[in-house]
Structure 1
Amino acid sequence: MTVPDIRLVPLATGGGGLPFVLGPSLGTRVARVWDGVRPLLADRHPLFGWDLPGHGVSPAATSGFTVDEIAEGVLRAVDDVGLGRFAVAGISLGGLVSLALGLRAPERIVATTMICSLPRLGTAEGWAERAASVRASGTPSLVQGSASRWFAPGFIDASPTVASPLLSDLMDVDDESYALCNEALGAADYRARVRDLAMPLTVIAGELDPVLTLAAAEETAAAARTGSFHVIAGASHLAPVEKPAEVAAILLSEVPL
């Protein structure tokens, strides 16, 4: 296993508060998936995002890695821009990486937010099947299934200019990097470590998210020493895309200036 080359994306440089470091969902570019939330936070916090291997600005990976190694790659990228203390938030795989970051650098991270994410996502068998599928057929074959998971019924028709670019980005993701991310997810299980977080944990779930249950998300928040749980009504797996104002309000209320 190796630490992947993770690249940071400056999203907003204004605001005098603590920086936010934002993570994406598998198959998305961080700048796109956080685009609706970005202007709602930018007045108060500098914002940085990071892309997964083979996504957006991060180079493709050729060897395997763990979720913890993604987190180490993010920390290296953060160090390169000179950030000291900061808050982290991420969606799905990005949320799991945010949890790993909180465990890895408790002296630097003031708050951790997991959005549509759990400390254990899916099963090793399910992720292995998806990795095999994308190696055989490429990321364009994932578009239809991803659309049904990412968005609540009717969202694509109501907001095509928001949804369609995200699905187009998925087709541009490097196939092998996507498969390696699947395998990292299949091996990741942080359920026993949530209690070890030194900083507050916020868990945000989409009411209609088919990837996880609200009960499991609430249990994750309850397992933390200091945890809070929020449900975004009418949202599916990409809650920051569908309900940016609601997600931004939670982040602003949970993270200190």
Structure 2
Amino acid sequence: MSIPQITPTLLSEGRGKPVLIAGAGLGTGAKALWIDAVPFLDDFQVVGMDLPGHGASPASTETFTMAELAAGVVNAVEKLRAAGDIAADQEVYYAGVSLGGALGLQLGLDYPEFFAGIGVICSGAKIGEPQSWLDRAETVRASGTPTMVTGSAQRWFAPGFIEKNAEATTRLLHTLQDADRFAYAHCCEALAGFDVREQLGEISTPVLAIAGGQDEVCPPHFAEATAAGVRNGRAAVVDSAAHQAPLEAPEETAKLLREFFLAG
């Protein structure tokens, strides 16, 4: 077990504004997933955080837990502060999708004072079953991430979205195809060990749980359970989206995050 290295990517300028850390899910990259939503998040300096072996982040060489992954994200933010890339006195928010959303809950548990607000998008306090994640890890280790492309395309997007948005979907699926197979497997193993349903009441950071109305992986009742379980939570549904709301409905997803995070 080890704390993985996470490489941030600046998605929008705006030093001196509140910072939004934008996290991505298994097989996706922060830039590919969030870039269409960035123009609607102009109140923030947006920084993408890729999972190990995805996008800009180097591949992990050892297995890691969700808690160790959360530590890697906090380390990356602290380095940005130390380097002056983000202002030390600005509030920092986090919003992540799928595995990235689950990571948000882990961040809320382990670093209760670090983030001013957390967005949990197309995610939940437990995703799938442990054995299915372990089986997928073994498949990808043996055969590579391209074996996941067809199934992921079916799960990720609402019906008809691929045909109408070829550039955006191709961009995201290329991230999956290019992801490091071993790091992808490590992420699967982290998800296999993730279940914080009984700990949600410990999370004091305000949480917005956003579901895709057509998401079969993490349906809307996942978001409702998350919002009801934390101390200060709200649930919302993006009706047109499946499992990748910032890509499928960038303006609506951004509006929900802006209104929740900046309400105070």
Q: Aligned AA for 1:62? A: T
Other structure's SS at 2:36 match: coil
Any stretches of 5+ residues in structure 1 without a counterpart? Answer: none
Shift of 1:244: 0.5
Which of the numbers 121, 125, 138 marks the counterpart of 2:127?
Answer: 121
Hey, what's the Cα distance between the residues in 2 that align with 1:25 and 1:97? 9
**Corresponding residue for 1:236?**
242
**Corresponding residue for 2:141?**
135
The worse-fitting range, judged by mean Cα deviation, of 55-64 and 11-20 is: 11-20
Shift of 1:143: 0.4
**Corresponding residue for 1:58?**
57
Matches within 5 A, 1:155-170: 155-170=161-176
**Corresponding residue for 1:174?**
180
Any stretches of 5+ residues in structure 2 without a counterpart? Answer: none
For the pair 1:10 / 2:7, whether they are aligned, the reply is no
**Corresponding residue for 1:225?**
231
**Structure 1 vs Structure 2: percent identity of aligned residues?**
42
8 Å contact kept, 2:212–2:219:
no
- Superposition TM-score, scaled by structure 2 size: 0.94
Matches within 5 A, 1:71-90: 71-82=70-81, 83=86, 84=88, 85-90=91-96
Matches within 5 A, 1:83-122: 83=86, 84=88, 85-122=91-128
Q: Aligned AA for 1:155? A: F
Which of the numbers 181, 204, 211 marks the counterpart of 2:210?
Answer: 204
Matches within 5 A, 1:29-68: 29-41=29-41, 43-68=42-67
Q: Aligned AA for 2:50? A: D
**Corresponding residue for 2:200?**
194
Hey, what's the Cα distance between the residues in 2 that align with 1:37 and 1:216? 23
Q: Deviations over 1:8-32 (max 9, x none)?
A: 1111122754211110011011011
Hey, what's the Cα distance between the residues in 2 that align with 1:33 and 1:147? 14
Q: Aligned AA for 1:127? A: W
Hey, what's the Cα distance between the residues in 1 that align with 2:93 and 2:222? 23
Structure 1 runs of 4+ with >6 Å offset: none
Other structure's SS at 2:116 match: strand
Q: Aligned AA for 2:60? A: A
Hey, what's the Cα distance between the residues in 1 that align with 2:218 and 2:28? 19
8 Å contact kept, 2:12–2:47:
yes
8 Å contact kept, 1:15–1:44:
no
Other structure's SS at 2:35 match: coil
Hey, what's the Cα distance between the residues in 2 that align with 1:168 and 1:107? 36
Say what the alpha-carbon RMSD is for the aligned residues: 1.3
8 Å contact kept, 2:113–2:205:
no
8 Å contact kept, 2:12–2:46:
yes
How many residues align? The count is 256
Hey, what's the Cα distance between the residues in 2 that align with 1:47 and 1:231? 23
8 Å contact kept, 2:140–2:185:
yes
Q: Deviations over 1:162-209 (max 9, x none)?
A: 111111121100000001100000001111221111221110000111
- Superposition TM-score, scaled by structure 1 size: 0.96
